[in-house]
């Protein structure tokens, strides 16, 4: 029997609750598909600060690098917000991404038919939306040097090298080949040199993918177009900070931040996590929606372990749970037949795996 080593980082706030439900579903699906998963837990963020005084302990870096893939909950909370920047949970997360070399962050935004009304946009605008935001994750202004804040002057540097743009661009085109074969590259080339290099490089990559249609959009226009007519997009490829902003917008277009997963991939390992945060205000109440994390586990099976049948089973089980009217509290207003707790939702999806 095939066995995979999965590193688990539960994190802070609702992180532990939602990751537990994803593990429940992973156990059900691995049993039914005939492979096994071995989990090892590591600390990060506030949970790590409380125990070790560091947001990203060394054991976490080495442990995750040795695993086949990492399932990640969420980190951060008010308790650690006043720490100096280098101690903050967010700094731990950025250093973690860099250490793992996960340069490509895939953030799908799809609409579940049952939840069309959960979006603030009109149903006819969003029905059928299926966007993949491909965000560069370990470069750009988040990591560029020099950076400084001396109390009078503060600056950061947006920098991309051609190889960095090439590797993220290739990912986007490869994904587009498996989808609707359209890539929209988002930049600010009317103002920024770094964006001009980005745009020129995307044009060069496109020559190797004659079947894929490449378009370019300035980021301000892209933000507007996402809300005006999201169906025009298939794959969006963009840099770190633009992708941070646009992926939040895309998630709200489909109305359900609690449902959307993400994958951060590179050449060494991959990290799978919900796109929502640690929601400390609702932690421990059993009302968090575990679906984004369960769907992240499905992405892990598909992209890192090559177990796409198992991933399909999770997708169908989630759709069935929603179709049958089970909703966690966040979605109670949208055609709920029964409002369930975090762990009940995990049970329902795990049970549907084998049906």
- Whether 308 and 302 have beta carbons less than 8 Å apart is answered as yes
Q: How far apart are CA 13 and CA 4, in angstroms?
A: 27
Q: Which is nearer to ligand IPM, 83 or 94 (CB)?
A: 94
CB of residue 158 vs ligand IPM: minimum separation in angstroms? 14
Report if residue 312 touches ligand IPM, rule: CB under 6 A: no
If DSSP codes are grouped into helix, strand and coil, which group holds residue 35? Answer: strand
Task: List binders of ligand IPM among 210-249 (CB under 6 A).
Answer: 244
244 noted as active-site residue: yes
Q: Which string of x and - marks every residue 75-94 that binds ligand IPM (by CB under 6 A)?
A: ---------------x--xx
- Whether 9 and 42 have beta carbons less than 8 Å apart is answered as yes
- Whether 280 and 13 have beta carbons less than 8 Å apart is answered as yes
248 noted as active-site residue: yes
- From the candidates 24, 244, 326, 329, which is the catalytic residue? 244
DSSP H stretches of helix in the chain: 15-33, 46-52, 58-66, 89-100, 123-126, 162-177, 193-206, 219-228, 240-253, 291-303, 308-323, 342-353
Neighbours of 307 (CB within 10 A): 22
- From the candidates 42, 103, 112, 142, which is the catalytic residue? 142
Q: Which is nearer to ligand IPM, 186 or 310 (CB)?
A: 186
Q: Which is nearer to ligand IPM, 107 or 329 (CB)?
A: 107
188 noted as active-site residue: yes
**What does 93 bind: Mg ion, ligand IPM, none (CB cut-off 5 to 8 Å by kind)?**
ligand IPM
- Whether 84 and 22 have beta carbons less than 8 Å apart is answered as no
- From the candidates 188, 209, 234, 272, which is the catalytic residue? 188
CB of residue 26 vs Mg ion: minimum separation in angstroms? 25
- From the candidates 20, 68, 130, 248, which is the catalytic residue? 248
Task: List binders of Mg ion among 235-264 (CB under 5 A).
Answer: 244
**Concatenated DSSP letters of 240-305:** HHHHHHHHHHHHHHTT-GGG-EEEEE-SS-EEEEESS---GGGTTTT-S--HHHHHHHHHHHHHTS
Q: Which is nearer to Mg ion, 234 or 244 (CB)?
A: 244
Q: Which is nearer to Mg ion, 164 or 244 (CB)?
A: 244
CB of residue 328 vs Mg ion: minimum separation in angstroms? 22
Q: Dihedral through CA 176, CA 178, CA 181, CA 186, nearest 10? A: -10
CB of residue 262 vs ligand IPM: minimum separation in angstroms? 8
Of 249, 97, 125, 124, the C-alpha closest to 186 is: 249
CB of residue 245 vs Mg ion: minimum separation in angstroms? 8
Q: Which positions lie near Mg ion, rule CB under 5 A?
A: 244
Q: Which residues are the active-site residues?
A: 142, 188, 220, 244, 248
- The site for ligand IPM (CB under 6 A) is made up of 90, 93-94, 244
């Amino acid at each position: 029997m095939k066995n995979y080593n999965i590193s688990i980082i539960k994190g802070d706030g609702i992180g532990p609750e939602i990751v537990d439900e994803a593990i429940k579903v992973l156990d059900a699906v691995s049993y039914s598909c005939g492979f096994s998963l071995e989990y090892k837990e590591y600390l990060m963020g506030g949970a790590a600060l409380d125990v070790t005084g560091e947001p990203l302990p060394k054991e976490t870096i080495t442990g995750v690098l040795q695993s086949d893939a990492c399932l990640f909950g969420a980190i951060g909370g008010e308790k650690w917000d006043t720490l100096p920047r280098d101690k903050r949970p967010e700094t731990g997360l950025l250093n973690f991404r860099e250490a793992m070399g996960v340069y490509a962050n895939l953030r799908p935004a799809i609409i579940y038919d049952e939840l069309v009304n959960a979006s603030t946009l009109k149903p006819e605008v969003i029905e059928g939306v299926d966007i993949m935001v491909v965000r560069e994750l370990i470069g750009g202004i988040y990591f560029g040097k020099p950076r400084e804040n001396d109390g009078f002057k503060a600056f950061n540097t947006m920098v991309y090298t051609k190889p960095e743009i090439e590797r993220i661009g290739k990912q986007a085109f490869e994904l587009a080949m498996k989808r609707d074969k359209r890539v929209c590259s988002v930049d600010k080339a009317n103002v920024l040199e770094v964006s001009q290099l980005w745009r020129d490089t995307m044009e060069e990559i496109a020559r190797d993918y004659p079947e894929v249609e490449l378009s370019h959009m300035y980021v301000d226009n892209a933000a507007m177009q996402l809300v005006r007519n999201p169906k025009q997009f298939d794959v969006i490829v963009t840099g770190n900070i633009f992708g941070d902003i646009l992926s939040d917008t895309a998630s709200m277009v489909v109305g359900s931040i609690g449902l959307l997963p993400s994958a951060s991939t590179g050449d060494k390992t991959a990290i799978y996590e919900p796109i929502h945060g640690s929601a400390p205000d609702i932690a421990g109440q059993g009302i968090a929606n575990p679906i984004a994390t369960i769907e992240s586990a499905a992405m892990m099976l598909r992209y890192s372990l090559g177990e796409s049948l198992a991933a399909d089973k999770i997708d169908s089980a989630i759709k069935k749970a929603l179709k049958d009217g089970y909703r966690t509290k966040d979605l109670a207003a949208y055609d709920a037949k029964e409002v369930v707790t975090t762990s009940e939702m995990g049970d329902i999806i795990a049970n549907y795996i084998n049906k």
